Amino acid sequence: TCPLPLLNEWNTGNTPQMNMSCNFTNETGNTPLVTIYCTVLIIGVPANFLTLFLTMMQIKKKNVMAVYLFTLSVSDLLYMATIPQWIRYVMNNHKWQDSELACKITGFIFFNNLYVSILILCCISVDRYVAVVYSLESRGQRRQKKAWAICIITWLLVVISHIPVFTLKEDNDKGSCFETFPMTNMVARLSCARFCIGFFIPLITLIATNIKMFLIVKASGSLTDRQKSKVRFLTISVIAIFLFCFAPYHCLLLGRAAVSFLSYEVSCAFEKKIHFLSTVFICLCTVNSAINPILYVFTSENCRHDLRRGSIPQYFAQHLARWLTEIAVARG
């Protein structure tokens, strides 16, 4: 099964089943899911590193969108650094071999990446919408300082909301990491809030801004058919990928929350039936980290122009020369 932790399994709250956990083993095959994670690493790591350098060059050119894309890549790379831990965990039949603190840190990074990604993707759609629909009015309003402030506030809100991860107690007898079933009533309520705030509201915002932007571009007489086709492709892709990566996990999360209010026996039976689906759906969330650079950066005219000009080698050469000069001066 997929190795990633489930925040909705926080074992807290004064409920009748708080000290009871479902007894079922992970009998599903690990190979397909491990393959997915390895693929995400192979594609996502170089793609996100390339995105970092491309967006840094665009940030120097005062490109506002580059700030959001840079933040997204930092978040994705931070998460990808933890994937080997989860691969090791799942290949060891869900037995965590490191410390409990390591488990909590790794899970903390996963959930931060999940919701930072969702919220930043939402910010990107809103920023594109403002730039297209209110191009004249927003010319003096869309500034990098505002974009940086939005990104920092987003990070802070997500990080603060997931600090409770470090207060959780794992089931040491099972040796698992963030896999406790069923949900408690408190966690079920938190899961409903996560669905609404962390998924549904961003989804509605993303759909509304992208469709409105597409309709305005479609009606424009100043754009070529090629430009309109590009906007249509990006609009459909953004919505489809968001739904593909995040909708299954959050819809099942809501379903699990609803069932958890029923009896312990019903809850456990349901958890056992959908456990494999749950792990697969979390894997889909991970795929987003590899897709983001391809969709947002490599479809950008500015970034493709930098690639064609060979700007990245020049960037490295300039910074290497500056670094060597500083060392020589320091040794004086």
Q: Which residue has the tokens 């968001």?
A: 242
- Does the residue 35 lie in any domain? yes
- Does the residue 322 lie in any domain? no
pLDDT tens track for 81-121: 999 998 888 888 777 888 888 888 998 999 999 999 999 99
To the question of pTM greater than 0.85 for the whole model, the response is no
- Does the residue 14 lie in any domain? no
pLDDT tens track for 187-200: 788 889 999 999 99
Question: Which of 56, 74, 75, 76 minimizes the C-alpha distance to 66?
Answer: 56
Question: Which of 148, 128, 131 minimizes the C-alpha distance to 140?
Answer: 131
Tokens of 328: 């020589």
- Does the residue 3 lie in any domain? no
- Does the residue 21 lie in any domain? no
Give the pLDDT score at 247. 97
Distance CA 322, CA 332 (A): 15
Q: What is the share, in percent, of the chain residues with pLDDT greater than 90?
A: 37
Query: What's the domain count of the chain?
Result: 1
Ramachandran angles phi, psi of 326, nearest 5°: -65, -40
Tokens of 105: 């840190």
Per-position DSSP letters for 284-304, written without gaps between them: HHHHHHHHHIIIIITT-HHHH
Distance CA 315, CA 208 (A): 38
Give the pLDDT score at 304. 57
- Does the residue 113 lie in any domain? yes
Give the pLDDT score at 174. 59
Give the pLDDT score at 274. 87
As a dihedral over the C-alpha atoms of residue 4, residue 275, residue 201, residue 210, rounded to 10 degrees, the angle is: 80
Ramachandran angles phi, psi of 202, nearest 5°: -60, -35
Cα–Cα separations (whole angstroms), residue 162 to 231, 300, 327 = 36, 33, 42
- Does the residue 85 lie in any domain? yes
- Domain CATH for 144: 1.20.1070.10
- Does the residue 311 lie in any domain? no
Tokens of 225: 């058919």
- The series of mean pLDDT values per 10 residues for the chain, 332 residues long, is 42 46 66 87 93 88 91 95 89 82 90 95 92 80 92 96 79 64 81 93 96 88 82 90 96 92 85 85 91 76 59 50 48 48
Structural element, H or E, at residue 214: helix 201-219
Domain limits for position 222: 28-304
Give the pLDDT score at 19. 47
